[in-house]
Amino acid sequence: MSLLRRAWEGWKRFGRRLGDIQARVLLTVFYFTIVAPFALVVRLATDPLAVRRGTPKGWRPRPEPTGTPLERARRQA
């Protein structure tokens, strides 16, 4: 195997390892700067399950269905 070929193969192995490390670092930074703060804001600002005080308890009223049963069945698809 020629010297250039061996050098090229070594460079590709090194580049692959370096790329893996960079990807992990960049994704970690992205997670802690974008995703985690957004999740904290959403968690503190919303109450999708209505478990906090001041929200009505029990069953929530369901809106009356509109249209015929056949039309409602077609809309499900």
Average of per-residue pLDDT across 57-77: 85
- Read off the pLDDT of residues 32-62 as tens digits, 9 standing for 90 and up: 999 999 999 988 888 777 777 776 667 778 8
Average of per-residue pLDDT across 18-42: 95
Q: What is the DSSP annotation of 22-65?
A: HHHHHHHHHIIIIIHHHHHHHHHH--TT--STTSPPSPPPPPPP
Residue at token pair 């698809």: 77
Q: Give CA–CA dist 56/71, Å, rounded.
A: 32
Q: Is 67 left (phi over 0), alpha (psi -120 to 50) or beta?
A: left
Residue type, 13: R
Residue at token pair 């999708």: 48
